[in-house]
Homo-oligomer: A and B are copies of this chain.
């Protein structure tokens, strides 16, 4: 595996898993005052469209990464709507 592919895989790992600590913090504290509703609305819509793009183009890495991100981004969005 070449260095560019490794950089891409580590990059995907970082951006995909980064929403997990935010979701845990939001669930624990229910503090959503500093979180932007516009950001999570746009971001959840974007990851849903990325997931559809991945499924329609038979791209498993794109589908998997965005399925994981969509779960955690949706949790944060639901908490933001419920506890704003």
Q: In the complex this chain forms, how many copies of it are found? A: 2
- In this complex, how many residues of chain A approach chain B with their Cβ under 8 Å: the count is 40
A29–B34 touching, CB < 8 Å: yes
Interface of A is mostly: helix
Is the CB–CB distance between B8 and A53 below 8 Å? yes
Q: Are the CB atoms of A22 and B36 closer together than 8 Å?
A: yes
A-B contact pairs, 7 of them (CB 8 A): A7-B56, A8-B57, A17-B42, A21-B36, A24-B36, A31-B33, A31-B34
Instruction: Bits for A41-52, please: 1 = Cβ < 8 Å to B, else 0.
Output: 011011101101
Q: Hey, which bits of chain A sit against chain B, CB under 8 A?
A: 3-4, 7-8, 10-19, 21-22, 24-26, 29, 31-36, 38-40, 42-43, 45-47, 49-50, 52-53, 56-57
